[in-house]
Chain A
Amino acid sequence: MKRITLYPLIALLAAVSLVACDKSGDETPEADFGTVQVDVSQTTARITVSSPRVVAEAADRTIREVGVRYRAAGGSEWSDITAEKISADTYTAQIENLAPGTRYDYLLYLATDANRYYGKMRSLTTDKVNGILGQWRLMQWHEMTELPFEVRMSFSDDGRFTLWQKLQSVEWQRFEGSYELAGTILSGKYDDGQAWSAGYDVAVDGNKMTWTNTSDGSDRAVYVRENIPGELQSLRTADTSRAISAERFL
């Protein structure tokens, strides 16, 4: 999870622009949100606010609620989430079920009995590919861990993937192509123009990721992080063409 911290100095500068406003974020400089820390993952954003306060000129300075208003960038509907008070002057809001690789606008707000004060509109972007980047080995498919075939994959941040498989041939076959992530749905195509046979709903948990075939919920594969052996990395795609062409029967 990547972390963005708005240090006090920055927060101080930002305080100038933290304003009471309506949903459009018009400036009303009557609130200071103190230190703001934003932690973003592929599908969640956790926003922590420390030492927020209403400026001295305001008549009502008792904070009743701190929260976050957010929407997908360019979207029309806002959602609010109330932050949890975790200490005397610290509040945390965790926004879940965000789409990976997506930019969101958000506003911090604090409310007194009489007013709700909004900060300046900011943005955050959930991690596009942080989970799947790297090298993987198929460990389980259909609940089976003793598999009669082998699959290894690597994903890079330029949208490219490489697949090695011992499936229809006892020799490793290598494929390359590109992938796209829309929300949690991964799809792609091979360099030979063939599309993947399905999209996959991908959930990453550290060194393990689970792929669920979007057209067949029982087709669930678990991959674990594992380095691709050097001899496979050096295998040329062309090395597999003979085996593929010779063994094709589908």
Chain B
Amino acid sequence: MKRLILLLLCATLAGACTHDLDGTSGKASGGGRSKIIHSAQGARKGCMIVKFTPEAADIVEASATRSGIERVDQIMETVGATGIERIFPVDRRSEQATRRAGLHQWYRLSFDRSADLEKVAALLAEIGEVVRVQYDVDVKRVERCTPIPYDEVAQTRSADMPFDDPKLASQWHYMNDGTLGTMAEEGADINLFEAWKLTTGDPRIIVAVVDEGVMYSHEDLKDNMWVNDAELDGTDGKDDDGNGYADDKYGYNFVTGKGNITWNSNGDVGHGTHVAGTVAAVNGNSTGVCGIAGGDDANPGCKIMSCQIFAGNNVATTSATAKAIKYAADNGAVILQCSWGYDGGDILSDRQFASDCSLEKEAIDYFIANARAEGVIEGGVVIFAAGNEASSIPGYPGAYHEYVCVSSMSSDYRAASYTNYGTGTNVCAPGGDSGYGKQYIILSTQTDRFGKYGYMEGTSMACPHVSGCAALALSYAAKIGRTLQAEELRDMLMTSTWDVDRYQSGTKIFVDQYYREHTIRLDDYKGKLGSGYIDAYRLLMQIEGTPCLYIAAGAPQLLSLSEYFGENSASLTYTAVEMSQQDKSALGIRKDPTIDGGMLSIECSESGCATVTVKALVGGDKEGGAAIGGTEVTRKFAIVVRKAVSGNGGWL
């Protein structure tokens, strides 16, 4: 049985490590060795990434043609230097933030392609003004997928649809009424139709699709594409808006270093276009499919920004990928949609990721800290796919504890056969399973080369469901006038879920990239698919507000926390329950509240109201650090106590 593995994988960093080289033979000595990141194997020839100290960076910046640092220039001379360039170009609007984050310290040195990379790295690492030396490796796909064209015959559902987009009925992943076929179970979806009653999107919310180029002219995407008007109306070849990039009309092609987004190169599979359609294909236009935050016939949806890091058989390097991420933040995106990552197991801890992927992590940190949508969110949320190797270790960067890591589910509540899972995975979402039949995988927009609409499966497809929900949540926040911090939204995403563990039983067959079959036991996935299945309506309700715990005084109370931590709350690891001493006194609490079996245990003797802060780990029982781990999620809520409470929960 053949499975298609669609996550765009970056395998060249497998086994990435710090090298022990001395200065003459390619081996760094002493403190220099710890500065070198990645392996020369697979690294792009004739270039090297260097991070200078802040003081040195100022010197380099002031120099016209050379670094201005004597020892660096000496090395560069010996290797036939051709240039030194700041990785992140100056964007006057964000330069202050760039410097505050230290991103101005990163440079890319170019030199003769014949130079020995390891030797260059070792020599640079010995220089005091150099903080990091990083090989610029290609982000490489290890596997391709063949998109499956849409098939009219496959559609059988007749349920009333909220929009007139003809293929919406085939998008079971939004609303699964169980009628699609024998492998569809009612309710195995993201509960989108209920959420759409509250909002369908908002053009102020921009999602950066870091992926293949998005077909911005697609009939079902063009109205929801982010457009840089200054460049669209500007002069070709000129950086009209002064953001450091010329001709970036719909995003930027970081593979070619030019503004023109591409999607029909040899080797492209429409991955970016498919992902974009799930996030925000135009709704209510009597055309094609629907997107989660695609608006409606009266209101435009969220916007898609194409940050292209794959172009046919060519891929972006580490430095170009980092640029793509920072570009997204500087140009208005607040959700970073990333259906790519390292293979599960290539990186084994947050600490290793932070060390081995220093440049990328700093760029992501910048996105989290500096992305913003005025009045809606301060900061950005980063969402990654977990990977498609059926590995019990999710791939990085997604597994890093500050990012949302998404695993994949089938149309029957069971884990997709290929999905990575385990500690570090935060939530799951529909990604489909082609072993059930093509109608059971994800339908979205496709490039014209593949028929404009098509099916794909993978954690790559699950990931944009979470990104779309995040965009929808921010749209609703904008609608009701609520401003969120990025961490709040991230925590809400990780807790707006329902339990899937009870469905994980039996076996499935997973076919790997070499067409070898493996039997997987779904019992092994219990408790390892994150906090549960993302629910768009539940997420919007979290945006709406935080419900109170309403209890009676005078007796011990054991209270479910599912409203705050998702339906799977009982199985999470709780790290703290906090109340102020003043609040405890006011409610007559003599024994500190605790979490017992996933339930809040509390006894109050007085009526009143107080705030409780509860922290829990999602995606592991220890926070990521020295080992791969979970994300600490914080929820605050009010507890309202009265001497007696009516049996129906009514206030009177």
Contact = CB atoms under 8 A, between A and B. Distances in A.
B547 A247 contact: yes
Interface in A118-173: 138, 141-142, 144, 147-149, 151, 153, 161, 163, 165-171, 173
A244 B607 contact: no
Interface in B562-615: 563, 606-609, 611
B607 A219 contact: yes
A167 B652 CA distance: 12
B545 A170 contact: yes
Interface in A191-250: 192, 194-198, 200, 213, 215-216, 218-219, 244, 247-250
B648 A167 contact: no
A165 B608 CA distance: 17
Nearest to B643: A216
Interface residues of A, number: 39
A54 to B, nearest CB: 54
Nearest to A148: B638
Given A142-B608, A163-B652, A194 B647 contact: yes
Given A197-B646, A215-B644, A216-B643, A167 B607 contact: no
A171 B546 CA distance: 10
Contact of B548 (A149, A200, A218): A149
Interface string B630-642: 0000000110101
Nearest to B559: A249
A247 B563 CA distance: 8
A219 B587 CA distance: 12
Interface in A174-200: 175, 188, 190, 192, 194-198, 200
Contacts of B646: 190, 194-197
Nearest to A192: B648
Contacts of B642: 197-198, 213, 216, 219
Nearest to B647: A194
Contacts, number: 104
B648 A198 contact: no
B560 interface: yes
B560 A249 contact: yes
A80 B433 CA distance: 89
A197 B552 CA distance: 10
Nearest to B636: A148
Contacts of A197: 552, 642-646, 650, 652
A171 B480 CA distance: 14
A219 B645 CA distance: 12
Given A141-B609, A198-B644, A165 B544 contact: no
B551 interface: yes
A34 B514 CA distance: 111
A167 B609 contact: no
Nearest to A186: B652
Nearest to A248: B649
B644 A167 contact: no
Contacts of A153: 652
A138 B202 CA distance: 33
B547 A213 contact: no
Contacts of B640: 148-149, 167
Contacts of B549: 168, 249
Nearest to A152: B651
B541 interface: yes
Contacts of A192: 648
Contacts of B550: 167-168, 250
A151 B541 contact: no
A170 B637 CA distance: 12
Contact of A148 (B548, B563, B644): B548
A250 B638 contact: no
Given A149-B638, A168-B649, A175-B648, A218 B606 contact: yes
A48 to B, nearest CB: 39
A219 B651 contact: no
Contacts of B548: 148-149, 167-168
B643 A148 contact: no
B643 A198 contact: yes
A128 B245 CA distance: 76
B650 A250 contact: no
B607 A171 contact: no
A216 B647 CA distance: 18
Given A197-B642, A213-B643, A215-B643, A167 B649 contact: yes
A169 B550 CA distance: 10
A215 B609 CA distance: 18
B588 to A, nearest CB: 11
Nearest to A169: B547
A85 B421 CA distance: 90
A185 to B, nearest CB: 13
A149 B637 CA distance: 11
A215 B645 CA distance: 12
Contacts of B547: 166-170, 247
Contacts of A244: 648-649
A201 to B, nearest CB: 14
A50 to B, nearest CB: 45
Contact of B651 (A151, A215, A247): A151
Contacts of B652: 153, 161, 163, 175, 188, 196-197, 200
Given A149-B638, A163-B650, A175-B650, A250 B551 contact: yes
15 contacts: A151-B651, A163-B652, A168-B550, A168-B649, A169-B547, A173-B649, A194-B646, A194-B647, A197-B552, A197-B644, A197-B645, A198-B642, A213-B643, A216-B642, A219-B643
Interface of B: 541-542, 544-552, 559-560, 563, 606-609, 611, 637-638, 640, 642-652
Given A165-B651, A173-B649, A197-B642, 12 more contacts: A141-B609, A144-B609, A148-B637, A167-B548, A170-B544, A175-B648, A175-B650, A197-B643, A197-B650, A218-B608, A244-B649, A248-B649
